[in-house]
Amino acid sequence: MFELKFNVTQLQELLDVGKLTNVFINPCNLSAILQQVSLQLPAGLSMLTGLTDEEMHVYYTAATVHNVATSKNIRLFVDIPLKAADRYFELYQVYSLPFFHRGINKFVMIDGEFPYLVVAESRQFFTLMSPCVLSKCTQDLYTVCPSDMVLKTAGEQNCLIALFLGKMDIVLKKCKRLMLNESFEPVWIRSLDINYWVYSLGTPTCHGAVPGDRTSSDFHVKLPKDVRWNMSYIEILLLSYTC
């Protein structure tokens, strides 16, 4: 336990926000406190990231604060999520892209049941997540979810898990597929860092770009002269331009 003194106004402002800020504990002091805490963690638990002053912004974002009143004082508690090997996952948003199936000469799209797949670091445990369940999680730099998620093993006969692991025999058995015609609406998915697009088209297409600056509500891109892309069905389009 660490003692920090605040006046009543400062404490009330902190509790109203419910978040830790560098006004109350500066990065240097917070780093020193967390380094002492990390030495007392049980085996299998670790801090979210490093403990240098430069990395304290992660803890300011993830931490929440609340208080408890005693007969002599008011105690402030700072809650910071910890990492555990069996409770640390990567969250993937699932997109279904139409693809051309040469065996039946048709466009096919896998009909997924859940738009999110949660994957353990070991790649041995998974869970499927709906938007409703995800709404119960706190999303920021880290997504913190209730600990009552039901985990599935890598051997589970499940479509999304099999797709992630590349087990095509299970994919063929468990994945529901929809047949499409060539007039389906093209699918474009842009990466969060705007470095590439994933696309699916009904027919091979050649796209050209007009020299100069092109601006949209989503991004701004400078294109050199004579830029042309030959696009065929489903691929990844890398962008080497400044967006």
At 57-86, the pLDDT tens digits run 989 888 888 777 777 777 778 888 888 877
Residues 172 and 100 in one domain: yes
- Host domain of residue 20: 8-83
Could you tell me if residue 2 is inside a domain?
A: no
Could you tell me if residue 218 is inside a domain?
A: yes
Q: Write the CB contacts of 131 (distance below 8 Å, at least 6 apart in sequence).
A: 115, 116
Among 25, 55, 83, the domain-final residue is: 83
Residues 228 and 148 in one domain: no
Q: How many CB atoms lie within 10 A of CB 4?
A: 11
Among 57, 83, 109, the domain-final residue is: 83
pTM (2 d.p.):
0.61
Dihedrals φ, ψ of 158, to 5°?
Answer: -130, 140
Can you give the pLDDT at residue 165? 92
Residues 160 and 201 in one domain: no
Residues 93 and 79 in one domain: no
Residues 98 and 176 in one domain: yes
Average pLDDT over residues 230-234: 53
Average pLDDT over residues 215-222: 39
Number of structural domains (the chain) is 3
Per DSSP, the residues of 88-129 read: -EEEEE-----EEETTTTEEEEE--S-SEEEEETTSSEEEEE
What is the percent of the chain with per-residue pLDDT over 90, rounded to a whole number? 17
Task: For residue 215, give both structure tokens.
Answer: 């601006």
For 128-178, the pLDDT digits (tens) are 988 888 888 877 777 888 878 888 999 989 999 998 999 989 988 888 888
Average pLDDT over residues 180-201: 75
Please identify which residue in the block is written with the tokens 């404490």: 11
Among 158, 180, 202, the domain-final residue is: 180
Residues 35 and 79 in one domain: yes
CATH number at residue 138: 2.40.490
Residues 76 and 103 in one domain: no
Sign of CA dihedral 90, 96, 100, 103: positive
Residue positions counted in the chain: 243
Could you tell me if residue 14 is inside a domain?
A: yes
Could you tell me if residue 3 is inside a domain?
A: no
Could you tell me if residue 109 is inside a domain?
A: yes
For 14-39, the pLDDT digits (tens) are 566 677 788 778 899 999 999 999 99
Residue 123 contacts residue 156 (beta carbons within 8 Å): no
Closest CA to 207 of 237, 243, 240, 242: 237
Could you tell me if residue 243 is inside a domain?
A: no
Residues 170 and 215 in one domain: no
Could you tell me if residue 1 is inside a domain?
A: no
Please identify which residue in the block is written with the tokens 């002053």: 53
Q: Is 179 helix (H, G, I), strand (E, B) or coil?
A: strand
